[in-house]
Amino acid sequence: MAIHHLTPTVDSDAFSSSDQRIWLKLEALQPCGSFKLRGVGHASEVHAARGAKRLLSSSGGNAGMAVAYAGRRLGLPVVVVVPETTREWPKTLIRRQGAEVIVHGKSWMEANEHLMSLRQTADAFIHPFDDPLLWDGHATMIEEAATQCPKPDAVVLSVGGGGLMSGVLQGMHAAGWSDVPLVAAETVGAESLNASIAAGELVTLDAITSIATSLGARRVSEQAFAWTKRHEVVGATVTDAQAVRACLDVAKEHRLIVEPACGAAVAVARQRTVPVLQKARNVLVILCGGACATYEDLQAWAAESAGKS
């Protein structure tokens, strides 16, 4: 039995309009709160079968939570290195699963470098976004969605390191959705994919300035960028305030708490400023979830942005 759970895809009356239906793939319902468990769970099972004695993760939160959960299910110890930007709540959630948490570096890249220095022969490194095993796991959400909703005219998701994007596109091609545009949402201050698309080559951001720390990869994976050359990928950005507002709307309308990294996709889908969304009759939004923010956090961020306006 897979470590991840099957999740529903719901037709959102609240977010739809007379000329467009918005469907939400509810990955926020995974046991650890995000889609990460699909890929991480699959990779962890594969490495355990190969004889791994310990699981290692470098993550700003959600991937670390998924590895910790998978390790507990598999009976393996877990070490998670998080950057200094990681908030106390996700660190608490990771420790609840019995994992060791180490704080190091100002971004995921620095945290990952430190993790590599700790790696031993019998350890399995579970990358948060750049691993074919992860993409195989993430692709299963499209396999499910294809049986739960009509073939969409566009798919919208958030992009951090690009693992979700790579897995979803893999799943879309397997499901016969290769002609469906993918809208890649990012927040301003974490737009490494948008910057790379504009430059025509991989770009490394100087720093992550967005509150959406789960999108905090300064450089997307080569696989994610390669997909932009073989599939119609449209980049879009929203502000932190717009992402937070979308999270509060999700909480109000669908009784689910998601973090700004997820809210970015919802905000982009609802704004419909991207041309492919303006003419789409059915839009599938990957509600990727995330447990790095509480409802109180969302309220505080909303109040802070209102004070600046």
Confidence label for 215 from pLDDT (cuts 50, 70 and 90) = low
In tens, the pLDDT along 112-146 reads: 999 999 999 999 999 988 899 999 999 999 999 99
Query: Percent of the chain at pLDDT above 90?
Result: 80
Is 160 within 8 Å of 188 (Cβ atoms)? Answer: no
| Span 226-245, average pLDDT | 96
| Span 217-222, average pLDDT | 85
Q: How far is the C-alpha of 64 from the C-alpha of 72, rounded, in Å?
A: 12
Domain contains 3: no
Its pTM surpasses 0.85 = yes
Last residue of a domain, one of 71, 100, 125: 125
Domain contains 192: yes
Confidence label for 307 from pLDDT (cuts 50, 70 and 90) = low
Q: Tell me the CATH number at 240.
A: 3.40.50.1100
Predicted local distance difference test score (pLDDT) of residue 117: 95
With CA atoms as reference, report the closest residue to 250 among 281, 222, 194, 288: 288
Name the DSSP class of 200: T
Q: Are 70 and 137 found together in one domain?
A: no
Q: What is the token pair recorded at 16?
A: 């739809």
Q: How far is the C-alpha of 38 from the C-alpha of 4, rounded, in Å?
A: 5
Q: Are 139 and 250 found together in one domain?
A: yes
SS3 label, residue 79:
strand
Last residue of a domain, one of 125, 153, 183: 125
- Domain total for the chain? 2
Last residue of a domain, one of 125, 148, 180: 125
Is 145 within 8 Å of 180 (Cβ atoms)? Answer: no
| Span 88-117, average pLDDT | 92
Confidence label for 309 from pLDDT (cuts 50, 70 and 90) = low
Q: Are 76 and 140 found together in one domain?
A: no
Q: Which domain holds residue 53?
A: 36-125
